[in-house]
Structure 1
Amino acid sequence: MARSRNIKPGFFSNEYLAELDFATRLLFIGLWTEADREGRLEDRPRRLKMALFPADNVDIDRMLDDLDHLGFIKRYAVGDYKAIQVINWTKHQNPHVKEAKSVIPEMPGLEASRGEHQESPVQAPDSPSSFPADSLSLDSGFLIPDSLNPSPAPVDSAELFARFWKLYPRKVGKDKAEKAWAKLKLTADLHETIVTALAKHRQLSGWTKDNGQFIPHAATWLNGKRWEDEIQVPVDNVHRLPVRQSGEPDFNDTTWANGLRGRQ
């Protein structure tokens, strides 16, 4: 009986799987829908062809061999019974706990392969998977995260704290501030957000009066995520160009120089 299964973007970026032809890759997805909750199914190429490729001229037996060769499945036999195990099944799928238990014999040697450092390719009956259902990549048993975006570039947290501390106007409790800083999941973007907000806070009246005695300690400011506050810089603190007094000449108007020429 066919079942609904998960497929995620990592499937399409797997370089090993890309070595196989298009039909074989499609077969691999189809095997998931035919497999039971433990990732097993009968090794019956003719039946699989009728279930998955009824209108196509494909060699299912060869395609299964190719998937076996690359380690995506394992074709095995228990006596006269031929079966297929999808490798690392629980890393690919989260079968519903009410799904019927497998009636297909377990792959020989599976119990021996379950050790402290090697995970089983199947899921224990009536227990949810300890792994999130995900799809294929080149690492960690073909597991890949949902996002294919590159990880943020690493930042030097100590160097960025030194910049922050230099900008912070109240130099009190540096050790506590460093501990608060270390708790942040710091990125270059977050650092930019923090120092931009700090520049605005420095212009608040509460920070500028009475020699800054009302400025919170840096640790308090960081722990409170005060950079997320919505603040408006007071108009009086906005830098403005000097206004020309009524008695001063307008140097953009050259008529003021006429008197000088007359005196010359």
Structure 2
Amino acid sequence: MMARSRNIKPGFFSNEHLAELDFATRLLFIGMWTEADREGRLEDRPRRLKMALFPADNVDINSMLDDLDHLGFIKRYTVGDVKAIQVINWTKHQNPHMKEAQSTIPEMPVVEASEGKPDASTIQAPDSHSSFPADSLSLDSLNLIPDSLNPSPAPVDRAELFARFWKLYPRKVGKDKAEKVWAKLKLTQALFDQILQALAKHSLTPGWTKDNGQFIPHASTWLNGKRWEDEVDPPTNVHPFPAASRHEGFDKRDYRAGTKENANGTFRI
């Protein structure tokens, strides 16, 4: 397949969601546009993409594609024996030349749009491309950001929230790996609150409290598995308030109980 000329707009470089990805993955995303056909589809062949786009670099294309899929910039799918990739909202942001060959890759199975979401499908009908030449600018191609990410939620300070999470996580092992997983989360304040609430519940379970916590998973494992979504039953042997100390309440004790008072005002047993 011959590489093609495509559009790239300033909004690409300032998008906060793309900023979550490393430099090589962002470059891969751009390179994929030149490999995609007029429908924004290309074969899901990581080795071929590496040879086409990163022939001299040691990069993990498969993992990078997973990251792009996770954030909603592409969709990896399979139709029969064909593994393919669809660049999301391709036809809204690119104007392939009218003479480009028709796509030979099966289109992504379309889930029926629910009410109130008329724009759920990103697949444009065949032969409906503009007659503008490739690289022309249109009002619909001012950026290449999936509509599902706009408008974006209120920004959160990822570093500050991770520091709070790490301070509370009971097993301080593999901090670097945990930070990398944290960077890939679609983090919002609501999700962060959910994570902390779940962490508090997990911290009381027998699997986390026995044997000095040796069975507590690494934070990266816990985050990767989205364990905050687990249903955790609160332990029945944990009291909501600690037992009263035997060193407290001296002023409220009756030290005369069980004694008899003498005529001189003293007490005897």
TM-score (norm 1): 0.49
TM-score (norm 2): 0.49
**Based on CA coordinates, which of the two structures has the bigger radius of gyration?**
1
